[in-house]
Amino acid sequence: MNREELHKIVIEYSPIADEEELWWLIQKLEQIKPLETIIEIGVAGGGTFKIWEQLLPPERGLLIGVDIEPSSPSRWNKGNNPVYNSVQLIPSERNIAVYMVYGDSTDLYTISRVGDILNKYGRGRVIAGAAEWEVDFLYIDGHHEYYEVTNDYHNYGAFVRSGGAIAFHDYGTQWVNYVFENEAVGRKERITKAHGIGIVYV
Question: Residue 36's closest CA among 53, 54, 60?
Answer: 60
Q: What is the greatest pairwise CA distance in the chain?
A: 48
- 81 pLDDT higher than 80: no
Would you state the pLDDT for residue 74? 44
pTM over 0.85: yes
Instruction: Find all residues with CB under 8 Å of 122, minimum gap 6, and list them.
Output: none
* Per-residue pLDDT reduced to its tens digit, 169-179: 999 999 999 99
- 38 pLDDT higher than 90: yes
Would you state the pLDDT for residue 78? 53
Mean local confidence (pLDDT), 75-103:
77
Spell out the domains of the chain, with CATH numbers in brackets. Answer: 3-201 (3.40.50.150)
What's phi and psi for 118, nearest 5 deg?
Answer: -60, -45
